[in-house]
Amino acid sequence: MDSFDKTLSVEQKKIFNKIANTVRHLSMDAVQKANSGHPGLPLGCAELGAYLYGLALHHFPKKSQWINRDRMILSAGHGSMWLYSLLHLSGFNLSLEEIKEFRQLGSKTPGHPEYGHTDGVEATTGPLGQGVGNAVGIALGLKMLATKFNTSDHSIFDSKVFCLASDGDIMEGVSGEASSFGGHLKLDNLVVIYDANDITLDGPLLESASEDTVARYRAYGWEVYEIDGYDLEHLHEIFFDLRNSQTQPVLIKAKTLIGKGAPNVAGTSKAHGAPLGPDEVETAKANLGLPAEEFYIPKSVKAYFEEKLNKDKQQYEAWLETFRKWSKANPSLFEEFEAMREKTLPDDLEKKITSIEMKSPLAGRKASQVVLEVLSELMPSLYGGSADLSGSDMTMMKKYPIISPGRFEGRNIKYGEREFAMGTIANGLALTTMIIPFVGTFLTFSDYMRNAIRLAALSRLQVIYQFTHDSIFLGEDGPTHQPIEHYAALRAMPNLLVIRPADNNEVKMAWVAALMHKTGPTALILSRQVLPQLSQTEVPYDKGLGRGGYIVRSEKIQPDFTLFATGSELQLALGVSDELAKMGKDVRVISMPCWELFEQQDPAYKDAVIGGDLGKRVSIEAGSELGWHKYIGLNGTAISMDTFGASAPAGALAEEFGFQTDLILERILSEYTQTI
């Protein structure tokens, strides 16, 4: 992208000050009107925002999804009015009426920014620290895309990622994890601006932190600058150099005054998270030389941004011409670009995956890796990684190299023991809109990254989680590694597909489901232990796993028992049904690998599978029984785990916790006898 002049003009400095005060004006009024919000950051960081949106950012608000735009992530999402004010002024599709409806039901200006809801918002932020991880992920994704698509003649990816982070963001551990990783990879397209106002919601920062953040980031491998947050000339000098010669990620520690302009609360925690009050707003406006009129925008500010829009348009059109030349000169690359941009699935995806040969028995994690090796050739958008467990969670794509410092041609990412950061970075990769990231760790460690999974679900990002070692049957590692409550906890999350396949056949179809689910994340729950391939699950996607739940063994007349199972327990349910049949009992067995997909089915289908008199209903799953009674009823029997596991071989654990054919038979026959 083109650079800008090295020196700010007097006129530029004047208009940036006007823009800054306009941001303060709009933010104070919106928070006051809503009687809710966080005015401190918008008031304190207004000059930084005026400079970024008034000059530094290379984007075109009228084409807000331009693939080569600079991204601006507000990690400190509580300061959302800072962002909304600047988006409106810059020309994004965010009206002044929406600003006036700040924090109201149905508005485009919710309390914290939401990706996909408000034009110009690049990531859903608010839970502190995660925006930094998102920025690292987007920056990494753009480096990978640049390596893949840029040629010696044409550069179609050369944008940067900017992030505004607060003291709270910097304190949260996830930002440290992500920053360490970004420094390791030498991401030279990433700039984090640290709003260092030394205030948190509870009071002065020194009451809870006294570390040398500058030294810490330098130790991560970042270039660090310390500036006065209102010295735009110094900031501009830094940005000029970064546009031309950045070699590593950059942290700009900008000293600011929270609530600047509001004389009675500035510099205190009172400015952080509550409206200023009508008297303080009136005083602040007078103090700043602003008119009393609500939601006032000077004509000069409007005119400036109209002129900037024209310049943005020219820059965008110049890029379009470069893109046209590139696509003509590189037809095969262009075809791959379009496939990634559209996330195109092969027409015969199911057929290709179904035809993959696998041995039996095979662990769910290994079956998934076999599928991945095939998908890596079919889906150039797939990039994978693991939190230091690729040899155990089987996420490595063996045909491709590992991403390394300054080398981004690979498709495997080693995140190290940074599960939470891995989740936030994966969200950032997905936010490029051209990459489908998958990440792996043990299921029990999904707790470390849960809030990142939640934001992926809230943002409807297509991220795929390969969670392995899915039950007590991982064995000797014991209860610290054996998941119990995790199926239920993940199933409770909206927009997240949770799939626990029973064998090779269901693993294959689980990947079909994950790739088809483009409006949210998917968790694949996979076994460590080997599982036999079942003939009963060898059915087409739209008759089996694609339905979420389906009948794998039908009764002859009327069921005496109906057994529900997922994952490794499906083979156990079939074994129990064999024994019940020998006793003259009529049995139906239902595989329920994905409750979310099952709930999406039409009522007639659901009734055909689980409706009516199905006799004694029994669920068999080596996890918490929470949720199962929706399907088995209050009088149903849940063969489940209601305690933590133990350290022992899998066979001993099966006996100890009741997951053996004879033990299940004994229990359900006893309860069956009592009910007839």
Distance of alpha carbon 583 from alpha carbon 676, whole angstroms: 16
Structure confidence at residue 1 (pLDDT): 42
Q: Give yes or no: residues 533 and 552 share one domain.
A: no
**Known catalytic membership, residue 419:** yes
Distance of alpha carbon 476 from alpha carbon 474, whole angstroms: 7
Catalytic residue, from 419, 555, 569, 621: name it. 419
In a domain, 475, yes or no: yes
Decide: helix, strand or coil at residue 313: helix
CATH number at residue 107: 3.40.50.970
In a domain, 332, yes or no: no
In a domain, 326, yes or no: no
Structure confidence at residue 241 (pLDDT): 94
Q: Give yes or no: residues 398 and 279 share one domain.
A: no
In a domain, 207, yes or no: yes
Q: Give yes or no: residues 495 and 553 share one domain.
A: no
- Of 537, 556, 574, the residue at which a domain comes to its end is 537
Q: Peptide bond before 361: cis, by omega within 30 degrees of 0?
A: yes
- Our CA angle for 486, 491, 496, nearest 5°, is 115
Q: Give yes or no: residues 392 and 244 share one domain.
A: no
In a domain, 323, yes or no: no
Q: Are strands 616-620 and 561-565 parallel, antiparallel or unpaired?
A: parallel
- Of 316, 334, 365, the residue at which a domain comes to its end is 316
Which structure tokens are listed for 455? 């934001």
Cα separation of the two ends of the chain: 77
In a domain, 286, yes or no: yes
Distance of alpha carbon 590 from alpha carbon 588, whole angstroms: 7
Q: Which domain holds residue 556?
A: 547-675
Q: Give yes or no: residues 413 and 492 share one domain.
A: yes
Q: Give yes or no: residues 304 and 438 share one domain.
A: no
Q: Give yes or no: residues 271 and 298 share one domain.
A: yes
Q: Give yes or no: residues 552 and 642 share one domain.
A: yes
**Strands ordered across the beta sheet of 161-166:** 71-74, 161-166, 190-196, 250-255, 223-228
In a domain, 584, yes or no: yes
3-state helix, strand, coil in the chain (%, to 5): 45, 15, 40
| Number of domains, the chain | 3
In a domain, 339, yes or no: no
Structure confidence at residue 66 (pLDDT): 98
Low-confidence ranges of the chain (pLDDT < 50): 1
Distance of alpha carbon 353 from alpha carbon 508, whole angstroms: 6
Structure confidence at residue 673 (pLDDT): 75
Q: How many CB atoms lie within 10 A of CB 652?
A: 13
Q: Give yes or no: residues 32 and 152 share one domain.
A: yes
**Strands ordered across the beta sheet of 522-525:** 412-414, 382-386, 436-442, 464-468, 522-525, 497-499
Q: Give Cα 200 distance to the centre of its chain.
A: 26
- Our CA angle for 168, 89, 84, nearest 5°, is 35
Q: Dump the DSSP string for 575-607.
A: HHHHHHHHTT--EEEEE-S-HHHHHTS-HHHHH
Enter the pTM of the model. 0.97
Q: Dump the DSSP string for 228-266.
A: ETT-HHHHHHHHHHHHHH--S-EEEEEE--TTTT-TTTT
Structure confidence at residue 319 (pLDDT): 98
Q: Give yes or no: residues 250 and 199 share one domain.
A: yes
- Of 469, 503, 537, the residue at which a domain comes to its end is 537
Q: Give yes or no: residues 503 and 558 share one domain.
A: no
Q: Give yes or no: residues 161 and 306 share one domain.
A: yes
CATH number at residue 627: 3.40.50.920
